[in-house]
Structure 1
Amino acid sequence: MTSDSFVPEGSTVLVTGGTGFIGAHCIQILLEQGFNVKAAARSQEKADQMAQVFDKYKNQLSFGIIEDITDYNSLVNLVKGCTAILHLASPYTYAVNDFKKELLDPALKGTLTILEAANQEKSIKRIVITSSFAAVFDATKGLQPGVALTERDFSPLTYEDGIKTSDPAVAYRASKIVSERAAWDFVKDKRPAFDIVVLCPPMVYGPLVSTKTLKSLDQLNFSNSTIWNMATSGSNSSVPPTKGPVFVDVRDLAYAHYQSLVVPEASNQRFMVSAGVFSNQEICDALREQLSPARAKKVPVGTPNKILDPEHFTTDSTKAIEVLGMSFRPVNEPVVDLVNQLYDFLG
């Protein structure tokens, strides 16, 4: 922390989606760095669980209960006294029936409502929005071997595409780019006193902040559940195909959120936050090599050391490295740390 931090230490930061996997890591780093955090939670139960996790920071952490992230009046009250906002709350699920109601509208209206509420609070200096690699990737271009995707790339999907599709993955990708474009349009048209920073992470892996409130592994977030299921499927099982071949460690992503608050030069910038390409075979190799023998024997053998096939696009996070001071963990670190944590949880 330097004296010229854009959002100074001791400021209050509102975190939406703070009870989620990524949000909890963001809260942790903010508390460690001396910020006060106001976490938006959908229920008192979730707030109580988060308070238990961060018990030693109870003087820095408060909660606002907000059942609907599109509720303007509730958000106006929530942003009062805050200097900055980390906006992570957005639906990430393919188990939906109504794409408009369950994916597109919550993402779009949630982002716009946050911006509109913040525009009524003169103390707000910066809003960091967690977008996604989904807002960068254009699936119509195929695998694009040899192409390095950056924050300069944008998905062409529209709101209408998200509604008309029968594929929940397309609807999800549309929800991310539509809500992100709306944020940029808001800044351009309304010229608010605050600026924004947009982060575009791919698949996010890594250990949980704590397993204190974890009742069962059924509560795992989607990306981590895929790692756990693969790591425990048995040595003779097939290594599943690598569907999303780019990743970031959750701890690095949380650091990117923190840096986005304090680095003045991040103002109104978009960043790719990706450690690079991986394959599920590479993950299995790392798990078999680095886990204890009893745990390693449950990991699929597959074809050791086989590179990603077919070849895919890559990512280039040079801008995040240069502006935000990022460095990235290799894929073995988040997955080994996660799997060991979950085995320890199970006892």
Structure 2
Amino acid sequence: MILVTGGTGLVGAHVLLHLIENGENVRAIYRTTRSIEKTKNLFHLYKKSNLFDTIEWIQSDITDIPTLEIAFVGIDYVYHCAALISFDPKDENLIRKTNIEGTANIVNFCIANTIKKLCFVSSIAALGDLAAHENLITEETEWNPEKPHSDYAISKYGAEMEIWRGQQEGLQVIIVNPGVIIGPGFWEQGSGQLFTKVKKGLSFYTLGSSGFVAVTDVVRIAAQLMKSEIHNERFTLIAKNIVFREVLNSIADSLLVKRPNIHINPFFINVFCRIDWVLSNIFMQKRKLPSSTAEASYSTNKYSNEKITAILKTDFLEIHQYIREISTLYN
């Protein structure tokens, strides 16, 4: 049997669907009954509602050791997709507890239960920092602790250190580092918010860029790696490096709404960021534009998918076409 953490999130829910469609027995953990509805709605979106009832759900949390002990009974393989995604500095302690301590718990249970293989869904945020002579981030790019990183990036890097600790203790592992994951169904969180904001009339765009990938590619490749003899490796998963403006334009065109038409340069982004910091402290509210998000909006880092394409001989879905396809599912 296969255990999936984070089964109520975009990647985890798609992992569940993929595994069930391929005849696997799966167990997923959830924190609240309400969160399961998100996964159920995704299955309905794909017209696969009949498959949803084959999932064995166990109420648990990756930071709750007693419930994890129950979740791991009879498990052979694990997809660890659970994570807290936040770029608000006020969430620093919770992010580190969830993403680092939670991953340490998963690794410990995998070792204790002689799990055959563990796949960890990390992020390109945990990849290294470009040196002066480098222009492309790969799996071998070194992490520079002296450079600024978001709390989220630090937590994912720390989580990877826990995965490698497990590997050193005899656990077979795979790490995938997806870029910005595009996918349907979760329109109020993660990249899904791009569709919602554009639909509501987003006016602003930036000329930063990042690596983008379809959620179905992330899941397909992760499953392929788990089925293979490949282990103790990490792989960057991106289809292409794309300018944010181009992605927003594709979303707007697909949803038949106006394209964002006001360019916000780094100077004004940083001004807004400082204003947001002041307001968040005055009114004790979450940051709307943390400094790490501001920096990411105009970053032009480029990522390489050469390793995974060379090893699996795989192709990625074209992002603009995929945006057009999943826009038909937007509601």
TM range (shorter): 0.7 to 0.9
Q: Which residue of 1 aligns with 2:56?
A: 62
Matched, 1:84 2:48: no
The correspondence for 1:197, drawn from 174, 178, 193, is: 174
Aligned to 1:107: 99
- Structure 2: segments with no counterpart, 5+ residues: 264-296
Q: Write out per-residue CA displacement over residues 177-199 of structure 1, whole angstroms, 9 at most, x where no aligned residue.
A: 111012112321x22xx300000
Residues 333, 231 of structure 1: CA spacing in aligned structure 2 closer, same or farther, 3 A cutoff? farther
SS of residue in 1 equivalent to 2:141: coil
Closer, same or farther: CA 243–92 of 1 in aligned 2, 3 Å: farther
- TM-score, length-scaled by structure 2: 0.79
8 Å CA contact 2:87–2:150 kept in 1: the answer is no
Q: Match for 2:225: what amino acid? A: S
Give the Cα–Cα distance (whole angstroms) in 1 for the partners of residues 257 and 251 of structure 2: 9
Change (3 A) 1:14 1:80: same
Report if the CA contact (8 A) 1:135-1:154 is conserved. Answer: no
Aligned equivalent of 1:211:
none
State the number of aligned residues. 293
Aligned partners of 1:71, 1:156: CA distance in 2, in Å? 32
Amino acid at match of 1:87: H
> How far is the alpha carbon of 1:281 from its aligned partner?
2.7
1:1-347 matched pairs, under 5 angstroms: 12-47=1-36, 50-51=39-40, 53=43, 55-58=49-52, 60-66=54-60, 68-95=61-88, 97-99=90-92, 101-122=93-114, 124-138=115-129, 147-157=135-145, 170-188=150-168, 190-191=169-170, 194-208=171-185, 220-233=188-201, 237-238=203-204, 240-264=205-229, 266-287=230-251, 291=254, 295-300=255-260, 312-342=300-330, 345=331
Percent identity reads 22
Supply the distance in 1 between the matched residues of 2:199 and 2:104 (Cα, whole angstroms).
39
- Shift of the alpha carbon at 1:156? 2.7
Q: Is the 8 A contact 2:9 2:39 kept in 1?
A: no
- Per-residue deviation, 1:22: 1.2
TM-score calculated relative to the size of structure 1: 0.75
Matched residue type, 1:178 = G
8 Å Cα contact 1:70/1:106 also seen in 2? yes
Cα distance, 1:35 vs structure 2: 0.8
The 2-side partners of 1:272 and 1:250 are apart by 14
Structure 1 distance, partners of 2:38, 2:192, is: 20
Residue identity matched to 1:332:
H
1:306 corresponds in structure 2 to none
Q: Whole-Å Cα distance in 2 between the matches of residues 118 and 297 of structure 1?
A: 47
Taking the aligned partners of 1:267 and 1:44, their CA distance within structure 2 comes to: 34
Alignment root-mean-square deviation, CA: 2.8
CA spacing shift, 1:74–1:113, aligned 2, 3 Å: same
User: How many Å separate the matches in 1 of 2:252 and 2:56?
Assistant: 42
- Stretches of structure 1 lacking an aligned partner (at least 5 in a row): 1-11, 209-213, 304-308
Q: 1:267 to 1:281 in 2, by over 3 A?
A: same
CA shift, 1:138, in A, is: 2.1
Per-residue deviation, 1:287: 4.4
For 2:158 and 2:257, locate their aligned partners in 1 and report how far apart those are by CA, in whole Å. 44
- 1:129 partner SS: strand
- Is 2:180–2:191's contact at 8 Å kept on the other side of the alignment? yes
- Structure 1 residues 226 and 155 mapped into 2: Cα distance closer, same or farther (>3 Å)? farther
